[in-house]
Amino acid sequence: MKFYLDTAEVFIPDNEPVEKALSRTTHLCFAAHQDDIEIMAAQPILECFQQKDKWFTGVVVTDGRGSPRDDLYKDYSDDDMRLVRFKEQRKAAFVGEFAAQVMLDLPSKIVKDASREESVEDMLKVLHVTKPQFVYTHNLADKHDTHVGVALRVIEALRRLDQSERPAKLFGCEVWRALDWMIDSDKVLMNVSEHENLQLALLGVFDSQIVGGKRYDLASMGRRRANATYFESHGVDATTGLSYAMDMTSLINDTSKDPVVFADEFIQRFEQDVNERIRRLS
């Protein structure tokens, strides 16, 4: 595959030939930044871990140059941070036994510009080779512009596939906005109770972020535990770790559906749920 930038990279943890490694993919995640995959897609990583018939591939779209930095990394240039974050992402792919880790190395400004085709074209190249059953990306209610930009570019890429090539499901996952606000019937429940050690290891390799001032490891594990406890108010905990996702499959099955209208439907159901409860108890 030849991507838009010559600096793009495909890393294969077990050293299989690139096409063979990518073609075994069953679960594919498109994320904006290094460490987003490990924050939002722990469930599919765990589902594929040590399995012969399920393989997880991660795709990081942007270059990581704009990362916040402190402590050991406070004097690192943007180019230095790019190299560090690429190295950390390779470590995570090795720890999680990914089928492959793709890094497209695109500047965020390209991804956030709907008129630019580069990210969509690169995503299509990955999709044509991997042909995944399930695709994971950022949810449309995320509050980070680059995350929402990636989600929209993923939707566009999937819509360009022939109907027979599209995945069975597209999920939008939690990073820069939790999805606990959605009504329960809208939530896709992703059980991440098992392998807490592996989850911590996957988050912990991103030292430049953790030492650099962002405790994503503690925050992500805390969110998963909080989701598990606060999901059900009248019963004991069914899980010890839970992530939520937004089912965005209808956006690729109905290519005329406006993502704005789609996202607003979730918000309207939440608003209705809140209003009805207040009225009922007033």
The C-alpha atoms of residue 269 and residue 267 are separated, in whole angstroms, by 5
Mean pLDDT estimate for the chain: 96
pLDDT in tens, 20-67: 999 999 999 999 999 999 999 999 999 999 999 999 999 999 998 877
- Tokens at residue 208, please? 């430049």
pLDDT in tens, 191-231: 999 999 999 999 999 999 998 788 999 999 999 999 999 99
The predicted structure's pLDDT at residue 62: 97
The predicted structure's pLDDT at residue 226: 97
With CA atoms as reference, report the closest residue to 162 among 119, 131, 139, 121: 131
- Tokens at residue 27, please? 């679960």
What are the Cα distances from residue 168, in Å, to 80, 165, 185, 201?
A: 39, 9, 20, 30
The predicted structure's pLDDT at residue 198: 98
The predicted structure's pLDDT at residue 235: 82
What are the Cα distances from residue 279, in Å, to 52, 183, 275, 282?
A: 53, 17, 6, 5
9-281 topology per CATH: Rossmann fold (3.40.50)
- Is the separation of the CB atoms in 48 and 156 below 8 Å? no
- Is the separation of the CB atoms in 29 and 37 below 8 Å? yes
| Cα-based torsion angle of the residue sequence 135, 140, 142, 145 in order, rounded to the nearest 10 degrees | 100
Quick one: DSSP state of residue 211? T
Give me the mean pLDDT over the 238-251 stretch.
Answer: 97
Return the residue matching tokens 């090795």: 94
